[in-house]
Structures are given as C-alpha cells and as structure tokens.
Structure 1
Amino acid sequence: MTGKTIGLLIVMAAYLAVMIIVGAIYSKRNKDVNDFYLGGRKLGPIVTAMSAEASDMSSWLLMGLPGVAYLSGCAEAGWTAIGLAIGTYLNWLIVAKRLRRYTHKANNSITLPAFFSNRYRDKSHALLAIAAIMIVIFFVPYTASGFAACGKLFATLFHVPYLPAMIISAVVIVLYTTLGGFLAASMTDLIQSIIMTIALVIVVFYGIYAAGGLDAVIANANSMDGYLSMMFSHDAVSNTAVPYKGLTIASTLAWGLGYFGMPHILLRFMGIEDENKLTTSRRIASVWVVISMFIAIFIGIIGSAMTKAGAIEVLEGSSQAETLIVRTAMLLSNHGFLTIVLAGLILAGILASTMSTSDSQLLAAASCVSENLITDCLGIKLSKKASMLMARLTVVVIAVIGVFLARNPDSSVFRIVSFAWAGFGATFGPIMLFSLFWKRTNRNGALAGMIVGGVMVFIWKYLIAPIGGILGIYELLPAFICSAVVIVVVSLLTAPPSKEIVEEFESV
C-alpha cells in the first residue's frame, strides 16, 4: 500500500470516526421512539435546512448528476436540476409550515403513515398499513443505491472487490444511525452538507486546471453537437445532437413533483422546533440546492474536457461516468501531501452525500415497520425499552435487504434513484398536497390515490414506457396525474369527511 493510499484512508477514516462519535453522543438523548424517529421536534432552522437538502441530494449529486452531464451534456441533467430546484422551493414554501403544524395537531404524528391515518380518522388502519408498505418498498432500493455508491467509491479508489467495500460502508451507516437516531442523522447531515460543498468546489477548480483552463473546457463542449444545448442531447456514439422534445422536457421537470412525497425530507419539516423559522430554512436550502446542482453539472462538462486533454481515461456508460469525481480526486492526490488531504476531503464528500441520504431513509423505513406496522396495525404493545430495541433492529434488517439488492456493481445510481423518486412522488405527493389544501378529501380518496400512484409507477415503467414514442416518458408524471385524478373522483363520489375532520383542517 502506497503512502498516498494510506493518506487517503486516514482522511476518510477520520471522517467516518466523527460520524460514529456524533451517533454515540446523540444516543444519550433518545429517551423514547419519538426522540429516535423525530428528535422530539427540536431541530433549529440551519440544521433543518441543510439536513433536509443533504438527505435529498445523496450520491446522486456527486456521482449521478455529473455522470449524466459527462455522457450527454446539459439537457437531461439541466432540466432535471431545474425541476428539482423549483420543487425544492415550492415544497419549503407551501408544504413545510402547514405540515409541521398539522402533524402536531393530528395526535402528534411522528411518521407520514401515522399522519395520514390520524388526519382521516382511519380506524381500519388501511391507510397506515398501505403507506408504511409503500415506504418500505421504495426506500429499500433507494437505500441500496446509496450502498452501491459507497461500494463503487472504495472499489475504484483502492482496487478492492466491490462487495466487501459496499458492506463495510453499510455497516458504518447503520452503526451511527442505530446509535443516535433522527438527531444524529440530522447533525451528521449538516456536517456532510458542508463536506459535500467543499468537495464540489475543489473538484471544479482542479478539474479546470487539469483540463487546460476554462477556455479548453468551453472549446471542448462547443465541439460536441448539442452538448451545451438545453433542447438537444449529445449522442457520444455518433457524435450527433438528438432533439430533446417538449414532452421529454416536461417529464424531466416532473422530478420536482417528487419532493411533495419524499418521507425523509418531509420528516425534517415535521422535526423543526419553531415553525416560524422555516422561512430561514427555506432560503438557505433553496440557495444551496441551486448552486450545488449547477456545480455538479459543470463538473460533468469539465470531466469531458479532462478526457479530451488526456488527464483521465474515457468513461464509457453510466456506471463508469458516475466515478468521474473519484477519478478526479485520485488525479489530484498525485501532487503532494496537501493534495492528498484535499483529495481525501473530496472522497469523504462522496461518502457524505451517500450517508446523509441512507441514514434518513433507514430511519423513515424503520419507523414505518416498527411503529406503524408492528405497533399500530398488528397491535403489539411494547415497553419503551423494547420499542427502542425494535426500532434499531428494524434499521439493521432493512439495511441487510438493501445490501442484498446492491450486490451488483454495474447498477446505475442515477437510474435506481430515479425509479424510487418516482415511487415516492406519485404515491405520497398528491395525497400530501390534497391532505394539506383540500378539506373535501376523504379517507377513501386518499387510500385509492395512494394505491393508484404507487402501482402506476410500476405499470408505466415496465409495461407502458418500453413501447416508446410519446409514452416513453418519466413514470413520475403520468403516475402523479393518475393519483391526483383518482383522489378527486373517489372523494367526490363517496361521503364527505366528518365535521370533526373539517374543523381540525380549518384550525390548521
């Protein structure tokens, strides 16, 4: 093992140690499952903003998005980023404060399934069970994508087998999550968002230098047909521009709709101590998201110029393209002790982006299993100590399933996240908006919309989209629309909500 490799390992090990220490510190503050899953609603505005966005962006920001830009240029990555930026802002603007208030009013709900069940007074627990099951279904592959990103990082970096590298990464994430719960996840997410930002900045400046300067980056991008266009996508095989049609743009922008149904982001809204500070959180989050996504796309463009300059080899396919930042960090580490430290920070940033999402997803999925399915639906009453043990065991079990799904090193982080994002957006996005803003929504409409949204994601992805043509669009858009229509139709065809539910809605 070379001195450079040892140096990189030391920097990354130090980072991982800090995460575990934070988990150990906050483990003492978890007195019950309310603290473990929602931190007792004690988050400040900065932690709320940055933990929400760090858990949102995931490895997709430092691996998936630059990889897409590297291969095909600005169109797909750019329209996706625009949709996400709009969705981020609107989610903070219209959902955050009302959800914080409503979940507290609705029997102090600490999970989304519990909120829907309490909101509609669903004594059958059907809403609770279906919502919890849907969360587990879509969070397991989402968590697996994070584990896969970690495995790719270590396998590329240290030339070790992918599977053990991925498993070790998963163990660290599970360790500090099971120790500290929501508060630990939120505080580590704040630290991780800072490291992610530092990593992005370092890669941009060094990448431009390695590519031969900014003029060389721009000249290379201009030499490829459609690469810088928002209306064309670049085909690397034929070196031609492929039109990026209006329907495709609309379906790509639809990524933004997913925010209204993301449990790990919505939980941050529910966990803030003072709802009036959400305005500050919104401003911080929106600015950080826009800047970080722009830089991530720019890194993809810089990476293409680095390949042209011979600084890095040609990266073929999404699996290789997603290692762009890893390869840039390794190139940087060849210039002495200081650059090894900087490269270590970049690599820690990739770990941070992955871990900040995986910990939140594990908690959200675990809360659905232990609180909603086992305690509420099955009626198994546990002591405070047993509830905490069940919560931690559930995190471990879900992580094990995620590890199993992530065992293939050729899986694309971007594509896995894309499908899970569509699942959450279509399943929970419409019902979240209708629950908060339309008092005529009833339990039947909510249940029907949730089921239709989740099922349509699978139907469109695997049965309809393969037909191609105008049907080959991102599954989130048609599934979201179907869910919304079903909620309205079923709610209007069945009995209106009770006076008690309407009065609670109006008070919120």
Structure 2
Amino acid sequence: MSVSNPTLITFVIYIAAMVLIGFMAYRSTNNLSDYILGGRSLGSVVTALSAGASDMSGWLLMGLPGAIYMSGLSESWIAIGLIVGAYLNWLFVAGRLRVQTEHNGDALTLPDYFSSRFEDKSGLLRIISAVVILVFFTIYCASGIVAGARLFESTFGMSYETALWAGAAATIAYTFVGGFLAVSWTDTVQATLMIFALILTPIIVLLATGGVDTTFLAIEAQNPDNFNMLKNTTFIGIISLMGWGLGYFGQPHILARFMAADSVKSIAKARRISMTWMILCLGGTVAVGFFGIAYFSAHPEVAGPVTENHERVFIELAKLLFNPWIAGVLLSAILAAVMSTLSCQLLVCSSALTEDFYKTFLRKNASQVELVWVGRLMVLLVALIAIAMAANPENRVLGLVSYAWAGFGAAFGPVVLISVIWKGMTRNGALAGILVGAITVIVWKHFELLGLYEIIPGFIFASLAIYFVSKMGAPTAGMVERFDAAEKDYNLNK
C-alpha cells in the first residue's frame, strides 16, 4: 500500500477521534429515545451543524466541484435550489415538526409521527412509510460506502475490497455504540472540518493562480462560456436542478434533527447558523471547481488525474498545494462528508426497524435496554446489507442517489409539510400522498418524461392527492385538538 505517512496518520487520528466521541455518547444513552433522538436534547449549534453535515455527503467535495470544473457556472443552479429549499424547510417545517411530534405521542420516527398524527389504528401508514425508508436508505447507505471506498482506494492505493471495509468500519462503530448523540456530536466536528476545507482551499488556489484577475482571465481563456450560467441549459433543465430543493421537506435524516432539538426556541438560532454554514460550504465548493479550471490549465503536466476523473479536482488540489499534514486534514473533510451522511442514514434505518416494526408488532412491552440493543443490531444489519450492495462498484449505486432523494422528497415531503400547516389533513390524505408521490417518481423516472427531474411532478401530484382525498373526509376531533394545541405551543415559544 503506497501511502504518505502524514496523510495516513491524519486519517487514523481523525477516525479514532470519531470513535472516541461514540464511546462518550454511549454513557448518555439510557433508553430508545436517547439512542434514536438523543433524548431531544440538542442545542441550536449541534442541531444546525448536524442537520447540514447529515445532508451534505461526498458529492459536496467530489461531485459538485467536478461538475463545475467540467461545465463552469451553469452547474451551480443545483446549489441555488438546495439553499432555497433548505431555508424554506427550516422556516416552515423545523419548529412545527418539533412541537407536533411531541404532541402526537412523543413520536421518535417519521412513521411513528404519521401513525399518531392521523390516528392510524390499522398500522398501514406506519408500515408503508417504514418500508419506503428502508428501501431508499439502504440504497443511500450503499452509495455512501462506495464513496468512502473510492476515497480510501485513491488516497492509499488500497484494493477496492479492503477500502470498502476500511471506509465503513469507523462509521459503523460510532453509530453502533453511541447512537443519535454520537452521530450528532460527530456531525458537528465534521461540519467544522468541511467548512474549514471549503473556505481555505479556494483561497489558496486563487493565490496559486495569481489572484482574482489573473484567475478569471485564465478561466475565460479556457472557455468564455464558463461564466455563462445559461450555457447548455434549458428552462426544464434549470427547473430540474432547482427542484432538488424540494427534497428537503421529506428527508428523514434531516427531519430527525428538527425532532431532536431541545426546544422550539433553539430552531431560529439553528436556522441562521445552518444556512450560513450551507451558503459558505456551497460557495466554497463552486469556487474550488471554478478556480481549478485556471490552475490545471496553467499546469497541464499535473492535470492527468483530473482529466481522467473530474471528481478528483478537490483531492488533487489538496495534494498539490498543501503541506502533507494539511492535505491530510483537508482530505479528511471528504471522509467527514461521507461519514456524517452515512451514519445518519444507518440510524434512521435502525430506528424504523426497531421502533416501527420490532416494538410495534413483535415486542410491545420490550424493556428500554432491550430496544437499545435491538437498535444497535439493526445498525449492523443494515450496514452489512449496504456493504454487500456496494461490493460490486459496477452496480452504479451512486447513480441512484438522485432517485432516492426524489423518492423521499415526493413520498414524504408533501405529507410532512402539509401535516404541520393544515389541520384539515386526514389519514387517507396522508396515505394517498405517500403512494402517489412514490409511484409518480418511479413512473416518471422510468419513462423520463419531458426530461424533467421526477421529484417535481411527484411533489405536485402528491400535494394534490393529499388535498383532494382529505377533502373527501374530515379529521377527527382528537386530531384537530392536538394540532391546535401544538400550533399554540409553537406560536408561544418560537
């Protein structure tokens, strides 16, 4: 294994620190609520940064800079859509969901919340939503494991099989041991590392290419259209990229952060912190890819790896421009992005299996100690399935991430959003929304209709289904009473 010692040592120290945090969180994990939602004890800083880190996976430091490097600023529409979507999610959903889950049976998971909010005695809502979570998130977890394996493979010259286990082991360890608190605390560290890397790197690249004016002239000389945000785009293309923002309303691993906040009062401060972090990170990501155009056009002799795979632009710039020790820290930021998202996804799958299947249908009177250990075993089970799926990198698992994002966004987004703002929504309306959203995404993706990203029609049709089906019936008095109490609580404390 060919490896530079400083980079290896930095990675080992970083991974050891994450596992240590897991064992620290273990001491604060006494029951299932602690393991799944950290006992609803997250302050505004941890809520903000863990929500951001759990969202931004390896694509932040690999996929997006690579796309900007190849095509210029026309690829930045997705960043604009994500910023708008994340802000609206914080504004309309975060605080209300925190209160609504507490007033509806102190729900720990999304299926648990849907079941309590709509008084679903049949268990159908819980089962369907838990199945949606398990299917899409197992694919998501596999994509994270592939990204981690690719990082270890390219950085340390490992075989893909060895890199697969090396990349996944640490994340599984701290998630298994410490649960939600470990995931949230490590996310906070990882978010700090990511923003450090994405602010420092473009500044150093800019200095290495001779400053702003020289850099911009070099980028223009390479291709004047690099500055054109409308290059090779269509109206439908721009709408599709912006449409990624709709996905935020339905992502269980992000919504779990809102549910775990210590109070509604923390949400407003968390929103400001999270959005500042997100804007700086996405801005830095775009800058890395954009300034990389100038650097590699001026240094074609070192551009080989990036020409071969444009997603390596951040990795190569870190190796070329920084001291090996600093490069090790910057490359750890990619690992941080992968680990933060993967750990959240493992935990959401575990909570669905433990709370929504095991406790609800198999062992209603299970002790808290038993449930916590079942939760840990479920983390291990999902991780092993995801590793098996990722074992063959030719499965193109990474290509399914946009599909999974659309699936969650269309199936859960309208249900979550409308359930916290409209008391007239019914159980049948929620069921119709989940089914119509998921089916629309599958059908639209299969036929590739109009070239439009499937989340947009899925979100629209699911919202219409919720409204019209809810209008055919009426919520019960208990549903209205709990909604009003939660809304009053939210308005008093926001």
1:506 is matched with 484
**CA apart distance, 1:149:** 1.5
* 1:295-306 matches, cutoff 5 A: 295-306=284-295
4+ residue runs over 6 A deviation: 411-414
Moved more, 415-424 or 473-482: 415-424
Q: Deviations over 1:13-37 (max 9, x none)?
A: 0000000000001111111111000
Partners in 1 of 2:194 and 2:85 — Cα distance?
21
Q: Which residue of 2 aligns with 1:322?
A: 311
Q: Work out the CA distance in 1 between the residues paired with 2:143 and 2:211.
A: 34
SS at match of 2:62: helix
Q: CA deviation at 1:415?
A: 3.8
Is the contact between residue 236 and residue 451 of structure 2 (CA under 8 Å) also seen in structure 1?
no
CA contact (8 A) 1:427 1:480 kept: yes
Indicate yes or no: 2:337 matched with 1:353.
Answer: yes
Write the mapping of 1:91-102 to structure 2, written as runs, cut at 5 A. 91-102=89-100
Provide the residue aligned with 2:380 in structure 1. 396
Superposed, 1:39-438 pairs within 5 Å as 39-76=38-75, 78-223=76-221, 224-232=223-231, 242=232, 244-310=233-299, 312-314=302-304, 320-333=309-322, 339-378=323-362, 381-409=365-393, 415-438=399-422
Take 1:51 and 1:407, find their aligned partners in 2: how far apart are those partners?
28
Point out the more displaced range, 254-263 or 202-211. 202-211
Measure the CA separation in 1 of the matches of 2:95 and 2:336.
28
Q: Aligned partners of 1:209, 1:153: CA distance in 2, in Å?
A: 26
Distance 2:189 2:90 in 1: 21
Structure 2 SS opposite 1:348: helix
Please tell me the root mean square deviation across aligned C-alpha atoms, in Å. 1.9
1:272/1:363 CA distance change after superposition, 3 Å = same
User: Is residue 92–residue 417 contact of structure 2 (8 Å, CA) maintained in 1?
Assistant: no
Q: How many Å separate the matches in 2 of 1:38 and 1:121?
A: 22
| SS of 2:4 mapped into structure 1 | helix
Shift of 1:381: 4.3
Deviations 1:377-431 (A, max 9, x none): 4455433222112101111111112222223446778743322211111111000
Provide the residue aligned with 1:336 in structure 2: none
SS at 2:39 equivalent: coil
Cα distance between partner residues in 1 of 2:146 and 2:212: 33
Q: Deviations over 1:201-251 (max 9, x none)?
A: 23213323444543343123323153221211xxxxxxxxx2x11122112
CA-to-aligned-CA distance 1:455-487 (integer Å, 9 cap, x gap): 22222112234xxxxx11111111111111111
Q: Distance in 1 between matches of 2:134 and 2:392?
A: 20
C-alpha contact (below 8 Å) 1:255/1:476 kept by paired residues? yes
| C-alpha distance after superposition, 1:98-146 (max 9, x if no partner) | 1111100001001011000000000001110111111111111212222
Distance of 2:345 and 2:375 partners within structure 1: 13
Does the Cα contact within 8 Å between 2:139 and 2:397 map onto a contact in 1? no
Give the Cα–Cα distance (whole angstroms) in 2 for the partners of residues 89 and 489 of structure 1: 28
In 2, Cα distance between equivalents of 1:473 and 1:220: 34
Counterparts of 2:311 and 2:182, CA distance in 1: 28
**How far 1:304 moved relative to its partner?**
2.0
Determine helix, strand or coil for the equivalent of 1:322: helix
Amino acid at match of 1:507: A
Q: What TM-score do you get using the length of structure 2 for normalisation?
A: 0.94
Percent of residue pairs bearing the same amino acid type: 40
| Structure 1 residue identity aligned to 2:132 | M
Distance 2:326 2:158 in 1: 22
**Which stretch of the first structure deviates more once superposed, 350-359 or 319-328?**
319-328
Whether contact under 8 Å (1:198, 1:345) holds in the other structure is: no
Instruction: Provide the TM-score with structure 1 as the length reference.
Output: 0.91
Specify the alignment match of 1:473 in structure 2: 452
* Aligned position for 2:492: none
For structure 2, list consecutive stretches of 5 or more residues without a partner in the other structure: 487-494
Q: Secondary structure at the match of 1:108?
A: coil
Bigger drift between 6-15 and 148-157 goes to 148-157
AA of the residue aligned to 2:357: L
Match of 2:490 in 1: none
Instruction: Provide the C-alpha distance between the structure 1 equivalents of 2:14 and 2:477, rounded to a whole number of angstroms.
Output: 53
Partner of 2:22: 23
- 2:389, 2:225 → 1: CA distance? 36
CA distance in 2, matches of 1:155, 1:210: 28
Alignment CA distance shift 1:412-1:302 (3 Å): farther
d(CA) in 1 for partners of 2:381, 2:228: 45
Give, in whole Å, the separation in 1 of the partners of 2:441 and 2:140: 15
* C-alpha contact 2:306 2:312 (8 A) present in aligned 1: no
- Once residues 164 and 329 of structure 1 are traced to their aligned partners in structure 2, the CA distance between those partners, rounded to angstroms, is 24
- SS of equivalent residue, structure 1 residue 131: helix
Distance 1:315 1:305 in 2: 16
* In 1, Cα distance between equivalents of 2:226 and 2:325: 33
- How many residues were matched structurally? 484
Task: Give the secondary-structure state (helix, strand or coil) at the position aligned to 1:11.
Answer: helix
* Amino acid aligned to 1:207: V
Q: Which amino acid aligns with 1:113?
A: P
C-alpha separation in 2, matches of 1:505 and 1:209: 55
Q: Distance in 2 between matches of 1:160 and 1:189?
A: 26
The alignment partner of 2:42 has SS state of: coil
Cross-structure match for 2:491: none
Q: Distance in 1 between matches of 2:364 and 2:102?
A: 24
| Residue 235 (structure 1) aligns with | none
CA distance in 1 between partners of 2:93 and 2:421 (Å)? 9
